[in-house]
Amino acid sequence: MRPFYIIFALLLLTACDDGDIITVDLEFDKELDLCTNNTESFLIYDTRQDPNESLSLIIPRGINQEYPFTEATPIGSPQPFPINMSTTRFIYRTYNRTIGSNELCDPVPPADLTIVNDYEAPSGTAFATVTIEDDDNDGIPSDLEGRGEMDENGDFPNAQDWDGDGTPDYLDQDDDNDNVPTINEIDNDDLDGDDDPTTNPLDTDGDGDPDYLDLDDDGDGVNTILEDEDQDKNPRNDLNVNADGITVPHYLNTLEVTDHGNPGLTDNNTYTRTVTVNFLIDNFNLDILSADEIDFGTLTYSFNLPD
């Protein structure tokens, strides 16, 4: 823990307007919440009880911008937001009672919630570092899908695209375009205990190509996408009994070798991207406290994207 946290925890400061003693230690849980109901800005905040306090960061919101961050920031290049008491604001407040869930997001504050002390930093900088572990939520972390190195623009120009469909694997829900999503073709149970689905992947036919990168998962000579009997673009729901007496999909059954034709690729799927944002506040002054840097906390949220 950095020394300034210890200083905050021990510091007692006096507000000059009314003589009240205010204990400010900034020992919030650093699990941030987000308000999205203002069309011009996002409110990112943390609260706590005893004392009843909040720390809030307000940043600008673009036109039709649903969430503040949707892409990872380049490594070592956090996005800066200069604090100016206008478009970007950093505020510390105390209240007369405990703050209820999402009450700070209410357009009209509850009548019984009163701000007791209100301090706003006139300057400083908020830095946001965005990470996305699994861009396409297919169960394989992006850095294990041949994403390659990030360039100065935050792009991955050398990212692997195994199926050649124009969507790199780290953004592709179905890496081999067989209409079986990647997340259904990997070791989701982590049987080898290393938290890496690429080291113990499903390989039904044992040919050395994991199912999520294998056009013919059971090695029967008929590609997986062609074993879709009802042509609904979902090979997983066409079932029959295999040689072991177990009911499995045709594409995993070597006894099923009928080519039902290509139904086309799925085109209406969505997947969830989970974004994690860490905020640092640099060189701020709230009158009752100032610091070179504090860890404001971490914001996590998810949203749907088209496949």
Query: In this predicted model, what pLDDT tens digit does every residue of 141-197 receive, in sequence order?
Result: 888 999 988 887 778 899 999 999 999 999 899 999 999 999 999 987 777 788 788
8 A C-beta contact, residue 278 and residue 41: no
Mean pLDDT of 38-47: 96
Q: Which domain holds residue 277?
A: 3-132+272-306
pLDDT higher than 80, residue 102: yes
3-state secondary structure of 9: helix
pLDDT higher than 60, residue 223: yes
> Residues of the chain with pLDDT > 70: what percent?
89
pLDDT higher than 70, residue 307: no
pLDDT band for position 248 (50/70/90)?
very high
Q: What is the pLDDT of residue 151?
A: 81
Each residue's pLDDT tens digit, 104-146: 998 888 899 999 999 999 999 999 999 988 988 898 988 899 9
Give a yes or no: residue 174 inside a domain: no
pLDDT higher than 90, residue 199: no
Give a yes or no: residue 77 inside a domain: yes
Give a yes or no: residue 229 inside a domain: no
Q: What is the pLDDT of residue 200?
A: 83
CA distances from 291 to 25, 250, 282 (A): 12, 64, 7
Mean pLDDT of 21-26: 54
Query: In whole numbers, what is the pLDDT of the chain averaged over residues?
Result: 87
Q: What is the pLDDT of residue 14?
A: 33
Backbone angles phi, psi at 41, to 5 degrees: -155, 160
Give a yes or no: residue 157 inside a domain: no
Q: Which of 229, 235, 232 is nearest to 215 (CA)?
A: 235
Mean pLDDT of 238-255: 95
Give a yes or no: residue 73 inside a domain: yes
The three state secondary structure string of 170-198 is: HHCCCCCCCCCCHHHCCCCCCCCCCCCCC
Mean pLDDT of 18-40: 76
pLDDT band for position 21 (50/70/90)?
very low
Q: What is the pLDDT of residue 282?
A: 95
Buried b (16+ CB within 10 A) or exposed e, 251-278: bbbbebeeebeebeebeeeebebebebb
Mean pLDDT of 15-40: 72
Give a yes or no: residue 258 inside a domain: no
pLDDT higher than 50, residue 219: yes
Q: Tell which wins on pLDDT, 270 or 59.
A: 59
Q: Tell which wins on pLDDT, 302 or 74.
A: 302
In which residue are the tokens 């000059």 written?
16
Q: What is the pLDDT of residue 201?
A: 84
Give a yes or no: residue 254 inside a domain: no
Whether the upstream peptide bond of residue 51 has omega within 30° of 0, thus cis, is yes
In which residue are the tokens 């405990």 written?
98
Q: How many domains does the chain have?
A: 1
Give a yes or no: residue 253 inside a domain: no
Q: Using alpha carbons only, give the angle 90, 92, 95 rounded to the nearest 5 degrees.
A: 145
